[in-house]
Structure 1
Amino acid sequence: MMELEQLITSFLGFSASDAELVAAFFKPSFLAKGDYYLKPGNTCAALSFQRSGLIRVFVNDGVTETTQWISGAGGFVTDLAGLVFNTPAKFYIQALADTELYTMSREDYVRIGTVIPEWHHLEKLFIARCFIFMEQRVFSLLSMKAEERYRWLFNYNPSLFNEVPLQYLASMMGMTPETLSRIRRKISS
């Protein structure tokens, strides 16, 4: 669980001893390829750190699936609205590969503030960082051309292009699979 403690220290700015306390709230869990972490209508009751594997967040309107995000090792997995406000999910979270997680229950998420007094301040910073990342993604979808979005994602996480079906990546970048193929051919030539 050392990688979890390192992430908590670097991402949240905790001391090593506080990071160890926080990490103790997480328990190992596993999702097999194809298993769901969350489905629409269910309420997310956990926050997980992704140790390995791939997770896809997507919506399905009955006709089209739209991928919101694909995460790999080192990311956090949850539906923040469900975790914090106990609201039902509007999207799916599914393992694209066998995935090892460290998972904290909602009850422990609420209780952690009694163990680590500065948790509430650091929690705000964590949520703010998540919000800023989402703002950047929305901005990139609205302002960047398709090729720029491709280059951004490729620079952010090049391994996704070898591990994830291209139709999911195209959807996540707001383009058709055909457009993604054209861009890939153009850049590789």
Structure 2
Amino acid sequence: MIDPRELHGYFDLHPAELSQLAAAFSDLSLATGQDFLRQGEYHPRMAFVRSGYLRVHTETNGKEVTQWIAPPRYLLTDLAALVYGEPARWTITALTDCRLSVISASDYARLGKEIPGWPRAERSFLAHCFVTLENRVLSFLSLSARQRYEALFTEHPDLFNRVPLQYLASMLGMTPETLSRIRAGQRS
């Protein structure tokens, strides 16, 4: 079961409300290569990554594109699927064996009726998601490929030892060859 304190960074709730939120999560294990969510599915849910790494990706024009790699202690979902009940736009695949704590969309919605502080906490959570997205877009608009690599390496150095480089290159908006050149330049 998830420790309520692990959710506090995402949901600003009182301790009793955090415990109620945590109780709505259930444990799930995924083997390497197993999907948590598939593009086009109507199975909205959100996961807190307790251990392991997951890749959020899609296929467009016959090419796989990695949107994000979720490390441990990260909350992930297809937000439009979770909040609006739309079909998933992303596939979420385990890159390693993973232990997750999962909440269904129906339980997520139910908490809005049961937890008094939920509207404020959900607003804060959605704002966090939006700012994360804005920061990502801004990095693509204003940073060079090298700067995006350096920022990711500074924030998540563990990814570079755990995740295949072609997925990191895709997430950074560059080819694997460009990423290799940047990394080679860092070592020299």
TM-score computed with the length of structure 1 as normaliser: 0.94
SS of the residue 1:60 aligns to = strand
| Cα displacement (A) at 1:19 | 1.1
Q: Distance in 1 between matches of 2:95 and 2:146?
A: 25
Letter in 1 for 2:99: E
Contact 2:44 2:88 in 1 (8 A): no
| Cα displacement (A) at 1:76 | 1.0
Q: How does 1:102-117 map to 2 (within 5 A)?
A: 102-117=101-116
Please, which runs of 5 or more residues in structure 2 have no aligned partner? none
Partner of 2:133: 134
Q: Work out the number of aligned pairs and report it.
A: 188
1:122 correspondence with 2:121:
yes
Q: Distance in 2 between matches of 1:140 and 1:45?
A: 28
Per-residue deviation, residues 29-67 of structure 1 (Å, max 9, x unmatched): 111110111112112321111111111011113631111
1:40 correspondence with 2:39:
yes
Q: Distance in 1 between matches of 2:67 and 2:140?
A: 11
Per-residue deviation, residues 122-180 of structure 1 (Å, max 9, x unmatched): 10110110110111011101110011000000011000000001010001001111111
Q: Distance in 1 between matches of 2:162 and 2:110?
A: 37
Letter in 2 for 1:52: S
Letter in 1 for 2:60: D
Partner of 2:81: 82
Q: Distance in 1 between matches of 2:13 and 2:7?
A: 6
Percent sequence identity over matched residues?
A: 44
Contact 1:49 1:76 in 2 (8 A): yes
Letter in 2 for 1:18: E
Q: Distance in 2 between matches of 1:139 and 1:150?
A: 14
Q: Distance in 1 between matches of 2:61 and 2:10?
A: 37
**CA RMSD across the alignment:** 1.3
Letter in 1 for 2:67: Q
Please, which runs of 5 or more residues in structure 1 have no aligned partner? none
Q: Distance in 2 between matches of 1:28 and 1:96?
A: 18
Q: Distance in 2 between matches of 1:47 and 1:60?
A: 21
Letter in 2 for 1:49: F
SS of the residue 2:33 aligns to = coil
